[in-house]
Amino acid sequence: MEDKFSRIGWMLVTAIAPIAWGSSYVVTRQLLPAESPLWGGLLRALPAGLILLLISRRLPTGAWWWRSMVLGALNVGGFFVLIYIAGQRLPSSLAATLMSTSAVVMTLLAWAILRQRPRMVALVGAAVGLAGVAIMLGLGGGPVDPWGVAASLVAMIASSFGYILTARWGSEIPAVTMSSWQLVGGSVLLIPFAVLLEGPPPTLTFSSALGFAYLTVIATAVAYVAWFTGLRRLPAGVVGVVGLLNPVTGVVLGVALAGEVFGVAQGVGLVLVLGGIVLGALPPVRRRLRSGPVVAAPLNTAGFALADSRR
């Protein structure tokens, strides 16, 4: 019983991240300047990274200098710029929906790289959730910006790979420290591109400053700590399923704040997404051996069967 409640608790902590990220699309579209994606990504990442670095008071050592740069490029530098572009070019609900396909990508990458073989119920949960996402996407109506779609998909693939590498390399690194290294590393990579390609930083209005403050503190600093905490405590496939809360948040806020269309089809899609999350959260089923007591199949910390590393 304790393990079950612990599992649910860590999923709730992890859920802070996709909910915050789902809200970032409407904030970007409504409050931030459209012409400065490089500075937009930098102004979001660097303050958050410095805040967390002051909290952790720990610098990288050894291989973590180059690892922080690689992960920063995947999870922060390129990701924030692409998400900024997607947030400006696509409705909030559509941008979040496309990003939610990371549930399947992370599950497959975790299987291939981390040897985390997902249980069938988790795969079914991801499939059900993606079916809901497909309904939201296919029945939304109106023209779709292809560059916005491309930016969302590339961002999703890059960040999914980065999160898997984070889970593989950083299991012993505290979440605050891991987040600070990646945010600062990604910002260092962004600085020369922002200066050379976009010139001086954009002039901020009250609304854009408020938007950047929200993205920096809530949708970046808090969200990344929650997300990397989940990656340490849960298998990547389960974290990916929790990430389906991203499109739910994007749809709800898009309708409530940006006047985006929401009908019966979108409601059905939301129900399927939430159903997929519930399936992914189910605890592992114990099995009985032919002779002997009831035992659980070999599992990692959150219920995915561990693959034999000798295979």
Nearest to 43 by CA among 213, 226, 224: 213
Confidence of residue 285 (pLDDT cuts 50, 70, 90): low
Nearest to 13 by CA among 224, 185, 177: 224
Give residue for tokens 């530098």: 77
The arithmetic mean of pLDDT across residues 222-230, rounded, is: 90
Nearest to 87 by CA among 132, 131, 143, 23: 23
How far apart (Å, rounded) are the C-alpha atoms in residues 252 and 233? 28
Confidence of residue 284 (pLDDT cuts 50, 70, 90): low
Confidence of residue 3 (pLDDT cuts 50, 70, 90): low
User: What's the whole-model pTM score?
Assistant: 0.75
Q: What is the pLDDT of residue 58?
A: 94
The lowest-confidence range among 60-74, 87-101, 281-295 is: 281-295
Nearest to 75 by CA among 108, 35, 48, 115: 48
